[in-house]
Amino acid sequence: MLSGKVFLITGATGRLGSETAARLENLGAEVLPIVLAGYPREPKRVQWAAASRPIVVDEAGDLKNIKAPDYVINFHWLVDRSLSFTGQLQYELEWALHRISFFWDWLTEMSCNRLVNVSSIKVFGHLNNNPISTNTDPQPASPYGLAKLTAERFLDNLFFQSNCTVAHLRLCSVASHGEHPSHLLYQLFTSCYENTPIKINSGHTMNILYIDEAVDLIINAALQSYKSTYLLTTPSISIDDIIAKFEKVSGRKLNAEYVDLNPGIIDPVFDSDIELLSADWVRYTAIDSIIKKIIEQNLRTLTN
């Protein structure tokens, strides 16, 4: 399907980057999996599955033998939530933009067809009124959201006069094996299977994509996006409903305290653009199947 096409991926050893590299190869593409400053040489919580090996790029000289890609998918992002609000914002912009400025300069000279920047629904905050769409003016409430929005504006301006078009994907939470321990489904697993005490944000909702669908939508955005911004999020689902489904599928009970962690905050309702990037080869996984997959994959990890 993608034979002859060359994809460059930044943040290639991250959760989404690793899976995207393997999926692109499965679809026939050539992959350039780039690891920029701050990223691990190998994935931390999953096994590297692609045939192509991660390419470490620490300085401009490391780029001299890398071919010009047809498409670029940018996952590169680093966070440190132990810092203050201002510290977090400075840290993310420093590592995502400033320290790798030589890479962005190089990329503007490569004349690729399209750059897909994986952004976040966190560019919207509690000051935004429902429903939220790609036409809604973002009002982020976190340093992460502010930094992601700044990165969008930076890339728009950087590539404004180039032949490369830029598409930003404002992505909701992505569930997968090897996800960060702070993510809900991982917490539910450890609570059910290891009796870890957790706090549940009861009375609120969230939006979850399984990694298979997220990866395919991202790839398809590189191939055929015609808008500058897409909002990729599933319909809101009650956290209490997710818990009930998790306990039913697992046959176990959580060790959980149920509290309202966001009192007075109205949960966002999104007008998604997923249908605009759907295709017959894009994989879809319903929430019950997502839970089943997460449990099965994490159990295999525990027993290995």
Structure tokens at 255: 């060790």
Q: Examine the pLDDT at 170 and tell me if it is beyond 90.
A: yes
Residues 6+ apart with CB under 8 A from 292: 249
175 versus 301: which is more confidently predicted? 175
What pLDDT is stored for residue 134 in this prediction? 95
Quickly name the fold that domain 6-175+207-235+268-284 has. Rossmann fold (3.40.50)
Mind listing the pLDDT tens digit for each residue in 205-263? 999 999 999 999 999 999 999 999 999 999 999 999 999 999 999 999 999 999 999 99
Whole-structure pTM over 0.95, yes or no? yes
Q: Examine the pLDDT at 164 and tell me if it is beyond 80.
A: yes
Number of H helices, E strands in the chain: 8, 13
Nearest residue to 242 (alpha-carbon basis) of 198, 180, 195: 198
Mind listing the pLDDT tens digit for each residue in 187-218? 999 999 999 999 999 999 999 999 999 999 99
Could you tell me the end-to-end alpha-carbon distance of the chain, in angstroms, rounded to an integer?
A: 35
Residue 153, φ and ψ in degrees, nearest 5:
-65, -40
Q: Are 96 and 30 in contact (CB under 8 A)?
A: no
What pLDDT is stored for residue 137 in this prediction? 98
- Give CA separation, 45 vs 100, 181, 301, in Å: 25, 10, 10
The order of strands in the sheet holding 114-120 is 55-56, 30-35, 6-10, 71-74, 114-120, 165-171, 229-232
What pLDDT is stored for residue 87 in this prediction? 98
Q: If you search the block for the tokens 């976040």, which residue do you land on? A: 120
pLDDT cut 70: percent of the chain above it: 100
**Per-domain residue ranges of the chain:** 6-175+207-235+268-284
CA–CA dist 18, 131 (Å, integer):
33
Mind listing the pLDDT tens digit for each residue in 75-114? 999 999 999 999 999 999 999 999 999 999 999 999 899 9
